[in-house]
Structure 1
Amino acid sequence: MKTFSSAALSDLPGLRHAFFTRDGGVSKGIYAGLNGGLGSDDSPADVAENRKRMAEAIGVGIDHFMTVHQIHSPDVAVATTPWDVASRPRADAMVTATPGIALGVTTADCGPVLFADPKAGVIGAAHAGWKGAFTGVLENTINEMEKLGANRPDITVAIGPLIRQPSYEVGAEFVTRFTDADPDFARFFIPSSRENHSMFDLAGFIRMRLVGAGITAIDDTGIDTYPDEQLFSYRRTVHRKESDYGRQIHAIVLAR
């Protein structure tokens, strides 16, 4: 099973993390590999087996491998005890101070962002697509970590594989939404080869929001999901006119 990791998080004591790829799973067809997407039309049994393998890889039981029902929101769930799939909260980030609970976010182009304050023993995980990053999911994750005892200057953050600027073309109305909120946001766009289109720097926007929230230790994997066939990509699926797409999971856990 191939995973990506953050050197910055790997250097911290008392936790484990992984940015999972498609490698090592049982799904077939357009979902081939390690599809963890409960919202996909993949075989539920295959998705369950894939998630079990990811839980084992990060050192927890499947009942402690937690995800939320993601809705592209700024909302954050606090995990104190495990929840099952049926009762999982509708949110786009999670935080915990409980060892042994793995926090996982699913992505297929959006930004997976993992947070850790090892001194306080508090971690977080956020699903930061453009909408979540724009509306405050990153700042809200940090705020909820602080409520659990984290100290903002001690938080290390890792940005995982996501769709990068060379692959992320958007229309004029998308640009306007950002520049109407803050004219300075224009710096996250460069011209596309198509008229009235631009290329959006989601990773740069995420980093800017983190820095603005007082985070200084930020590690970015630099990996682009769109051209990398070992990762699922929603946009690549759309361009290929495929009927659905898989999701990778990215997870972090405090060691017991």
Structure 2
Amino acid sequence: MKDKEIINDSFALGGFTSGKNGIWTRNEPFDPPADDYAALSSKLGIPLSRFIRPYQASGDKVEIVTAEHGGSGVIKDNELKRTDGLVTAEKGVALSVIAADCVPVYLIARSAGVIGLLHCGWRSAAGGLLHNGIAAMKELGASPAEIQFIIGPHICADCYEVGEEVRTEYAKAFSEKELEAIFKVRDKRLYLSLSKALQLKAEAEGILQEKISAVNECTCHDKSYYSYRRGDRGRQDLAYLVLK
């Protein structure tokens, strides 16, 4: 079990955790909350009725959420289906996404009082998820230039071997020079840096380079986390972010 504090100041609290069992989902809409969610709720002092978890699909959909969505995906079913990004301007609402190698991206706009949390797999990192997340934050009054962009723990470029079809897909979204920075070849094998891809995407959206940072922890290397590539099935880590 491992808990990583990503941010904790007067504005926001965010973290990344494996939990004890790595089970954050329920089998049926009316099942009780997962034990790991209950434990996290107790630890943070945030009621389960204030947590929100979307039903993710490794896509581009982002939803603006409020307290009305509280408990969704945690203690009740919800309409946040095929959704990989959450944005809110409401205090005390805990955004959360599950990940087991994919990238959690924490978005913080202090002046506007807006936060966002994204779940970026390789498709989302090349697609429109980040653009849509920034657009949702702009809708709530945030400016890209003020957004703090934090890349959470995820599978690193040394571990993430991919096929040539992934590079072909990325070629639709990045220049040849950018592709050279995103992909590396070792022993005739292709490796992808999700972190680099997301940094380039963020800069293209108007986020300032000095506001972009990354947590240097790999979910595949670090056995305290759950990792799909390492063989964990049915168990994930959880990213969360709440506006204080």
Normalising by the smaller structure, the TM-score range is 0.7 to 0.9
- Which AA in structure 2 matches 1:99? K
- Which AA in structure 2 matches 1:107? A
- The structure-2 alpha-carbon separation of the partners of 1:96 and 1:180, relative to structure 1 and needing over 3 Å to count, comes to closer
- Which AA in structure 1 matches 2:242? V
Q: 1:58 aligns with which of 28, 44, 47?
A: 44
Q: CA RMSD in A?
A: 2.0
Q: 1:141 aligns with which of 133, 138, 145?
A: 133
Q: Percent identity?
A: 28
| SS of structure 1 residue aligned to 2:16 | strand
Verify: 1:89 aligned to 2:77, yes or no. no
Q: CA deviation at 1:82?
A: 2.4
Consecutive unaligned residues in structure 1, runs of 5 or more: 26-32
d(CA) in 1 for partners of 2:192 and 2:241?
Answer: 27
Determine the structure 1 residue equivalent to 2:184.
190
Q: CA deviation at 1:157?
A: 1.5
Length, aligned pairs only: 232
Q: CA deviation at 1:151?
A: 2.1
Q: CA deviation at 1:74?
A: 0.7
- The structure-2 alpha-carbon separation of the partners of 1:88 and 1:231, relative to structure 1 and needing over 3 Å to count, comes to farther
| SS of structure 2 residue aligned to 1:133 | helix
Determine the structure 2 residue equivalent to 1:5.
5
Q: CA deviation at 1:162?
A: 0.5
Q: 1:19 aligns with which of 16, 21, 27?
A: 16
d(CA) in 1 for partners of 2:195 and 2:144?
Answer: 21
d(CA) in 2 for partners of 1:177 and 1:170?
Answer: 12
d(CA) in 2 for partners of 1:151 and 1:176?
Answer: 32
d(CA) in 2 for partners of 1:173 and 1:118?
Answer: 39
Q: TM-score, normalised by structure 2?
A: 0.87
Q: CA deviation at 1:36?
A: 2.0
Matches within 5 A, 1:29-48: 33-38=21-26, 48=34
- Name which of structure 1's ranges 97-106 and 147-156 shifts more when overlaid on structure 2: 147-156
